Amino acid sequence: MLGAPAATVNNNASADPAVPLAERAKLMAAVGQPPQIPPPTPPSCSECASKTQPAAGGAPTQSASRMWRSGDGKTRIDTPQSSIISDPVSQQTIVLDHVKKEASVIPMAPSGAAAPQASAAPGSADAGIHPSSVQVQDLGKSMIEGHEVEGKRYTFPGQPSPPKPPMPAMPGLKSPGAPGAPNAPQASASPQAPKAPPPPNIAEVWTSVKLKTPVLTKVTTPVGEQTTYCKPTESAEHPPSVFQIPPGYKIKPNP
């Protein structure tokens, strides 16, 4: 369940906390797993802490979030300014922006059909990912913080950097009526060495066998590494309003 890991809220004031959540929601569709209605499990609530280490060095950033899961498989990830709600029954994901009081509804792929390729922000990790290009590796079972967990590793192909726009050509300068100079012979172009493929993006997810929620998630991309630990606890069933769009929120139309 790749969409379950808690999303990061960067403590840098220049970062937009809604962007990671929106990209995470789109990444769920890119995994290519049709949304299946899971068997009933105990409802739970998880307190999560994330640490992000930039690849270029520098101080890591810390963030906190909370995850809710209902007995019928609905999930909600809360951060101070945004939330993601996933509902396998209605086959939709809702992204809430608590600052703008807006909601975006993203449809999931129907069961048995290929997940649609979602658009993404330029430079994001999920831009251009096709479900068939995602490799999934079963890591078996283990124990983390007293929870029996199952691990999976998702490998997404790296995305090449966008090409730089060519420099505009300078117009040739000629004297009126003067014959043009003959062109110099062109040197033969040397063969280009093949470019190495960009490094892949890797997500490793360890999910509680009993509660079906993530306990440990590690995401590695060329820009850095993010590690999230969650402490799930069994709880009473959550009110239906937890997994619904709050009153007064404006629903944004899909592009």
Q: Is residue 171 part of a domain?
A: no
Does residue 214 register a pLDDT over 50?
A: yes
CA–CA gap between residue 202 and residue 216 (Å, rounded): 14
Any domain includes 125: yes
130 occurs within a structural domain: yes
Domain count, the chain: 1
Q: What range defines the domain where residue 233 resides?
A: 18-160+197-252
> Is residue 192 situated within a structural domain?
no
Q: Which of 84-93, 155-164, 217-226, 245-254 has the lowest mean pLDDT?
A: 155-164
The CATH number that applies at residue 150 is: 2.50.20.10
Q: What number of CA atoms fall less than 13 Å from residue 122's CA on the CB side?
A: 3
Q: pLDDT tens digit string along 56-95?
A: 888 999 999 999 999 988 999 999 899 999 998 888 999 9
How many helices (DSSP H) and strands (DSSP E) are in the chain? Answer: 1, 12
**Residue 113 forms part of a structural domain:** yes
Q: Look at strands 102-107 and 250-252 and give their pairing.
A: parallel
**Mind listing the pLDDT tens digit for each residue in 146-169?**
999 999 999 988 766 666 666 565
pLDDT of residue 78: 95
Q: Encode pLDDT of 96-115 as tens digits.
A: 999 999 999 998 765 444 33
CA dist 166 to 6, 53, 163, 169, 183, Å? 40, 34, 9, 9, 22
| pLDDT (0 to 100) of residue 185 | 62
Q: What is the mean pLDDT of the chain?
A: 75
Whether residue 52 is contained in a domain is answered as yes
- Listed in sequence order, the residues at least 6 apart from 44 whose beta carbon sits closer than 8 Å to its beta carbon are 68, 69, 211, 213, 232, 233, 234, 235
Residue 183 lies in a domain: no
State if pTM tops 0.85: no
Beta-carbon count within 10 A of 185 CB: 6
Say how far apart CA 27 and CA 47 lie, in whole Å.
Answer: 22
- Tens digits of per-residue pLDDT, 108-141? 765 444 333 333 333 333 434 455 578 999 999 9
pLDDT score of 25 more than 70: no
Is 59 within the bounds of a domain?
yes
pLDDT in tens, 32-64: 344 455 567 889 999 999 999 998 888 999 999
